[in-house]
Structure 1
Amino acid sequence: MAFSLIHKSPYEADSPLESSLTEAFRLLEPELRPPFPLTICTEAEYFNLNRAILYGILSEAHYAKVHFKHLHGIVTDGYCFFTSLVCKVVDELYAKVVESVKVQLVYVCLELVDVSAVGVDVLLVALLRQIRGGDFSESNLWLCSRMVDVFTGKWECLVEEQPMVLSSALYVFLRVLSDHCRVCLNPKLNNLKEKEIEFCVRVFRDQFHLCLRIGRDLIRLLQDLVHVPEFQDIWKDLLSRSKDVSQLYRTRTCSRYFLLRITSEMETHLRFLLTQVKLGSQTRYQIWFGRKFLNVSEKETVVIDIVRFICCAHHPSNDVLLSNVTPRWVIVGWLLKCCTKNHVEANAKLALFYDWLFFDEGVDNIMNIEPAILLMVNSVPKYIHMTHNLLEFLFLLVDHYDIDRKDLILKGVSCALDVLKRKGVVQSFDVLTCCDALSPFLKERLVKMLSWKNVSGFNHLQPVFLT
Structure 2
Amino acid sequence: MSSSSVPQLLLTGEHEAADGTELSLREAFALLRPRLRPPFPLRSPSSPAEYHQLILALAYGALSDHPRAARAHLVHLHATVSDGYSLFTRTLLHLSLHSFPRLLPSARARLLSVTSELIGTAAVGVDRLVVSLLRWVHIGDFSPPNLWLAEQLLGVLTLRWSWLLEEPSVLTSALFLFLRLLSDHYRLAAGDGRMDSLKSAEVGFCVRALREQFHLCVAIGRDLVRLLQDLVSVPEFRRLWEDLLIRPSDISRLYRRSTPAEYLLMGITPEMETRMRFLLSQVKTGSRRRYLEWFAGKFLRRPEQEAAAVDLVRFVCCAHHPPNEVLRSDVVPRWMMVGWLLTACRKNYFAAGAKLALFYDWLFFDEVNDSIMNIEPAILLMVNSVPEYVELTQTLMEFLLLLVDHYDEGRRDLILQSVRKAFREVVRKGVVQSLDALSTCSLISPALRESFTRLIHGSNPAQAQAVD
Range of TM-score over shorter length: over 0.9
2:463 aligned residue (444, 454, 464): 454
- Where 1:213 maps in the other structure, the secondary structure is helix
Counterpart of 1:8 in structure 2 is: 12
What does the per-residue CA deviation read over 1:4-26, in whole Å, with 9 as the maximum and x for residues that have no partner? 21211111100001111101100
Counterpart of 2:333 in structure 1 is: 327
Q: Kindly indicate whether the alpha-carbon contact (under 8 Å) linking 1:428 and 1:456 is maintained by their aligned counterparts in 2.
A: no
Counterpart of 2:397 in structure 1 is: 391
Distance 1:176 1:458, change over 3 A: closer
Distance 1:98 1:321 in 2: 41
Distance 1:31 1:444 in 2: 79
Q: Kindly indicate whether the alpha-carbon contact (under 8 Å) linking 1:421 and 1:457 is maintained by their aligned counterparts in 2.
A: no
Q: How does 1:276-315 map to 2 (within 5 A)?
A: 276-315=282-321
- Where 1:369 maps in the other structure, the secondary structure is helix
Counterpart of 2:183 in structure 1 is: 178
- Where 2:220 maps in the other structure, the secondary structure is coil
- Where 2:275 maps in the other structure, the secondary structure is helix
2:202 aligned residue (188, 196, 201): 196
Distance 1:62 1:260 in 2: 34
Counterpart of 2:26 in structure 1 is: 22
Distance 1:127 1:439 in 2: 49
Counterpart of 1:125 in structure 2 is: 131
- Where 2:102 maps in the other structure, the secondary structure is coil
Q: CA deviation at 1:38?
A: 2.5
Counterpart of 2:363 in structure 1 is: 357
Distance 1:20 1:408 in 2: 57
- Where 1:48 maps in the other structure, the secondary structure is helix
Distance 1:134 1:335 in 2: 15
Query: Identity of aligned pairs, percent?
Result: 52
Amino acid at match of 2:456: L
Counterpart of 1:58 in structure 2 is: 63
1:403 aligned residue (400, 404, 409): 409
Distance 1:45 1:455, change over 3 A: farther
Distance 1:75 1:439, change over 3 A: same
Counterpart of 1:462 in structure 2 is: none
What does the per-residue CA deviation read over 1:183-235, in whole Å, with 9 as the maximum and x for residues that have no partner? 01533200000000010111111111111111100000001100001111100
Counterpart of 1:463 in structure 2 is: none
Q: Kindly indicate whether the alpha-carbon contact (under 8 Å) linking 1:304 and 1:347 is maintained by their aligned counterparts in 2.
A: yes
- Where 2:283 maps in the other structure, the secondary structure is coil
What does the per-residue CA deviation read over 1:347-401, in whole Å, with 9 as the maximum and x for residues that have no partner? 0000000000000011100000000000000000000010000010001000000
- Where 1:353 maps in the other structure, the secondary structure is helix
Q: How does 1:10-409 map to 2 (within 5 A)?
A: 10-41=14-45, 42-60=47-65, 61-159=67-165, 161-185=166-190, 186-409=192-415
Distance 1:315 1:211 in 2: 25
Q: Give the CA RMSD over aligned residues.
A: 1.3
Amino acid at match of 1:54: A
Amino acid at match of 1:403: E
Q: Kindly indicate whether the alpha-carbon contact (under 8 Å) linking 2:282 and 2:331 is maintained by their aligned counterparts in 1.
A: yes
Counterpart of 1:464 in structure 2 is: none
Q: Kindly indicate whether the alpha-carbon contact (under 8 Å) linking 2:424 and 2:466 is maintained by their aligned counterparts in 1.
A: no
What does the per-residue CA deviation read over 1:275-315, in whole Å, with 9 as the maximum and x for residues that have no partner? 00001111100000000011110111000000000000000
Amino acid at match of 2:167: Q
Counterpart of 2:428 in structure 1 is: 422
Distance 1:320 1:455 in 2: 33
What does the per-residue CA deviation read over 1:425-460, in whole Å, with 9 as the maximum and x for residues that have no partner? 00111111111111212211222232248254899x
Identify which range, 216-225 or 54-63, moves more after superposition.
54-63
Q: Kindly indicate whether the alpha-carbon contact (under 8 Å) linking 2:401 and 2:455 is maintained by their aligned counterparts in 1.
A: no
Amino acid at match of 1:165: V
Distance 1:337 1:256 in 2: 26
Q: Kindly indicate whether the alpha-carbon contact (under 8 Å) linking 2:56 and 2:91 is maintained by their aligned counterparts in 1.
A: yes
Q: CA deviation at 1:43?
A: 1.2
Moved over 3 A (4+): 455-459
Q: Kindly indicate whether the alpha-carbon contact (under 8 Å) linking 2:96 and 2:133 is maintained by their aligned counterparts in 1.
A: yes
Distance 1:40 1:192 in 2: 44
Distance 2:19 2:128 in 1: 22
Amino acid at match of 1:238: L
- Where 1:275 maps in the other structure, the secondary structure is coil
TM-score when normalising by structure 2: 0.96
Amino acid at match of 2:57: A
What does the per-residue CA deviation read over 1:136-162, in whole Å, with 9 as the maximum and x for residues that have no partner? 000000000011111111112221x21
Amino acid at match of 1:173: F
Q: Kindly indicate whether the alpha-carbon contact (under 8 Å) linking 1:279 and 1:325 is maintained by their aligned counterparts in 2.
A: yes
Amino acid at match of 2:31: L
Q: CA deviation at 1:73?
A: 1.2
TM-score when normalising by structure 1: 0.96
Amino acid at match of 1:164: S
Q: Kindly indicate whether the alpha-carbon contact (under 8 Å) linking 1:134 and 1:300 is maintained by their aligned counterparts in 2.
A: yes
Q: Kindly indicate whether the alpha-carbon contact (under 8 Å) linking 1:417 and 1:455 is maintained by their aligned counterparts in 2.
A: no
Structure 1, unaligned runs of 5 or more: 460-467
Distance 1:302 1:458 in 2: 35
Distance 2:14 2:249 in 1: 60
Amino acid at match of 1:454: Q
Identify which range, 129-138 or 204-213, moves more after superposition.
204-213
Amino acid at match of 1:152: T
